[in-house]
Amino acid sequence: MKTSLDQYCINVSNLERSVQFYEKVLGLEVTHRIEIPNASEVVLAGAGGNRIQLAWHHDHEGPIDHGNALWKLYLKTDDCQGLYQRAIDAGSESVTPPQRLDRWPVTAAFIKDPDGYLIEILEHHEG
């Protein structure tokens, strides 16, 4: 038996604002939109095929309550500095600018999306 993680679904407070961020700023591709009773969802995919599903519940008002269950989302890129800068230029909050971490070996940066989800941008280097 083979098992893999396929996609995550997160709640957002403004679906179109989040779609614009994940599609236009981070470079993911919208694969489909879903309407279910009391919710609208958009699925976006990355180059590796993994996906994120953004969900807006029609009866939700105000900011998203993050609680303490989800720590961060990871994005893999071949240009950490470039993606980080594009996100900052689009108004994302910077948490940590790109830093080379030789221990793993990666370059990592942290930003927040429009709803405050922490996103770690990773560029892997040859060991």
**CATH number of the domain encompassing residue 8:** 3.10.180.10
Shared domain for 53 and 93, answered yes or no, is no
- Structural domain of residue 41, as residue ranges? 1-60
Number of domains into which the chain is organized:
2
Taking CA atoms, 106 is separated from 27, 34, 67, 80, 99, in Å, by 20, 36, 29, 9, 8
Mean pLDDT for all residues in the chain? 95
Residue 65 lies in a domain: no
Shared domain for 81 and 43, answered yes or no, is no
User: Looking at residue 83, what is its pLDDT?
Assistant: 97
User: Looking at residue 6, what is its pLDDT?
Assistant: 84
Q: Three-state DSSP class for 24? A: helix
pLDDT classification of 90: cutoffs 50, 70, 90: very high
- Confidence check: pLDDT of 27 > 70: yes
**CATH code (residue 77):** 3.30.720.110
Q: Poorest-confidence range of 39-43, 57-61, 99-103? A: 99-103
User: Looking at residue 127, what is its pLDDT?
Assistant: 65
Shared domain for 74 and 45, answered yes or no, is no
Shared domain for 54 and 74, answered yes or no, is no
Domain boundary among 26, 60, 94: 60
**pLDDT above 90 as % of the chain:** 84
- Confidence check: pLDDT of 50 > 70: yes
Distance of CA 105 to the CA centre of its chain: 22
Shared domain for 75 and 124, answered yes or no, is yes
Mean pLDDT of 47-66: 94
